[in-house]
Structure 1
């Protein structure tokens, strides 16, 4: 239970009157008062025009004792029913003081699982998928499954890596998000259980300050199938987030983590703001916030930025 002020962020490609009414009803059912309701982005803020980056309404709420976990559970169900995201966070002095943001890579920054792409090109996809399935059943932990999958890539030609890196499909909104994060002074990091070979490509393309991922060991132009320690697993992701925050002189409440998989849950729980992005249902339920209906740049709305705050390089609003 809490008596703190809450921020509810409602997001969708297009929000209808029924969507707003549904959220108003959810808030009323929990005995909360709406102190303020603002359109951060979308048709109501633009005189009826369609926003290219989706609609977003932010509520500021207060009341008596608030069962925030029950509220989040009902919000997740309502969002799934109406095709919208409802993120709920406690308001605090840290909300506009966050400075470190850490991302998973595969299926978060890019629309692919690179190890699956490598396996397809090496004609071992079914074998790799079988190892992944065993890990999902709990028969292997991440490190065991990673070693087994890497062993099956032995002999893969480095030319395949170059081709895949040159054609990585970026997640919608990632370029816009990174542009504004850098402009706003955020320190940006990739923390990935994938491969540093591809993380370095994204670092060069998008300007990440730092990357931590697993090394593909290559000798004589071929992947050896060996694994370099330490492996970046769930525990290491969370530890790295804490270490980087301490090194940069930041409170953990000033950190953000974004990821899609079970391997990201500890990182999401460690960060001041943990966001599950286009994640599986289990991860969405366990994460404190989630986004599934918009591009990755919707993270900016959870930070409280409105459409008019986000300017392009010429000083024009993104709405123009």
Structure 2
């Protein structure tokens, strides 16, 4: 038998008992088995545990997960790895920060709409990421970047709850924190420094002798395959069990790394990504990932009273 934990996380201020009862009843009816235990994690989150012989529970509950209004339903196996997260890898754009940096750069070249359209195709897995990056970077050719790096960095907004979430994991688990971005290394390194991360990898824009973009990148492209391979390499480098690793991102190019990691979380992601990812989280604060890891409000308040 496999013990599963199903976590309900409300998008709003409260997860009502009636909502817990309704979701649990629907799941019981689908599985034809009663939960073995349950516990409230806090005002907005609740855990329900089931024991089943199936090796993959999520497909059996897909329609319930998709139809829950204002509540994320996360399915995972229960065990020591739930809280024992030693490596967390993040996408950057629209994950660690609210913006898409390449669109911010594009606004200075008056091609923001064109770049955004291509970005959306890539994030929905409707176009190969490498090809999408090539097309978008080409649109930036000739832009003088020397004076723009610092200006754009000053405008970057870190996602709500990210600093608290990362601080909690470092202090309680000694977690290694890394950013793997399909964006650009100058900004990934900046975010790494701001959040005191351990590692950053991203793409490098090519400049001519006058500091203008050539419309190309230098070196290997950080696409989905690269993110997956790098995550596994980081596990090896840090001597971390892959089962204790997590990938958090919002785009189609994050799915391979989510599959390679011990667990993956689609953070306010594109609809197609939410369906394919191990789980989805659509709340307003990244700190809510702590509920997925099984931490209660009381445990969280020890560090953040």
Q: TM-score, normalised by structure 2?
A: 0.91
Equivalent of 1:78 in 67, 75, 79: 67
- 2:225 aligns with 235
**d(CA) in 2 for partners of 1:32, 1:161:** 57
User: Does the 8 Å contact 2:122/2:251 carry over to 1?
Assistant: no
Q: How does 1:1-320 map to 2 (within 5 A)?
A: 3-12=1-10, 13=12, 14-29=14-29, 30-42=31-43, 55-63=44-52, 65=54, 68-79=57-68, 82-129=69-116, 131-132=118-119, 140-158=127-145, 159-184=147-172, 185-219=174-208, 220-311=210-301, 316=302, 318=304, 320=305
Q: CA deviation at 1:157?
A: 2.7
Give the whole-Å Cα distance in 2 for the aligned partners of 1:281 and 1:137: 8
C-alpha spacing 1:261/1:133, structure 2 compared with 1 (3 Å): closer
Asked whether the equivalents of residues 32 and 64 of structure 1 are also in contact (C-alpha less than 8 Å), the reply is: no
Query: Structure 1 residues 253 and 87, CA, compared in 2 at 3 Å: closer, same or farther?
Result: same
> Shift of the alpha carbon at 1:70?
3.1
SS of the equivalent of 2:59 reads helix
Greater mean alpha carbon deviation, residues 234-243 or residues 130-139: 130-139
Q: Call closer, same or farther: CA 1:93–1:17 in 2, change over 3 Å.
A: closer
Once residues 41 and 277 of structure 2 are traced to their aligned partners in structure 1, the CA distance between those partners, rounded to angstroms, is 23
Residues 197 and 216, structure 1, Cα contact 8 Å, conserved in 2: no
Q: How many Å separate the matches in 2 of 1:140 and 1:65?
A: 35
Q: Deviations over 1:33-61 (max 9, x none)?
A: 2222112122xxxxxxxxxxxx1111222
- Using the TM superposition, give the Cα deviation of residue 226 of structure 1 relative to its aligned residue in structure 2, in angstroms: 2.1
Take 2:150 and 2:181, find their aligned partners in 1: how far apart are those partners?
19
Is the contact made by 1:11 and 1:294 (CA closer than 8 Å) also made in structure 2? no
Please state how far the C-alpha of 1:160 moved relative to its aligned partner: 2.3
Q: 1:31 to 1:139 in 2, by over 3 A?
A: closer
1-structure distance, mates of 2:295, 2:138? 45
Shift of 1:310: 2.2
In 2, Cα distance between equivalents of 1:251 and 1:148? 37
Secondary structure in 1 matching 2:80: coil
**Could you tell which deviates more after superposition, 202-211 or 122-131?**
122-131
For residue 303 of structure 1, report the CA deviation from its aligned partner.
Answer: 1.1
Q: Once the two structures are superposed, what CA deviation does each residue of 1:151-178 show, in whole Å capped at 9, x if it has no partner? A: 2212223322221111112111111111
Provide the C-alpha distance between the structure 1 equivalents of 2:152 and 2:293, rounded to a whole number of angstroms: 33
Q: Secondary structure in 2 aligned to 1:226?
A: strand
For residues 19 and 290 of structure 2, the distance between their equivalents in structure 1, rounded to whole angstroms, comes to: 21
3-state secondary structure, aligned to 1:61: strand
Cα contact 1:157–1:223 (8 A) shared by 2:
yes
1:106-149 residue CA offsets vs partner (Å, 9 max, x unmatched): 11111111111111121122333454466579885211221221
Whether contact under 8 Å (2:124, 2:272) holds in the other structure is no
Question: CA 1:66 to 1:16, structure 2 compared with 1: closer, same or farther past 3 Å?
Answer: farther
Q: Tell me how many residue pairs correspond in the alignment.
A: 299
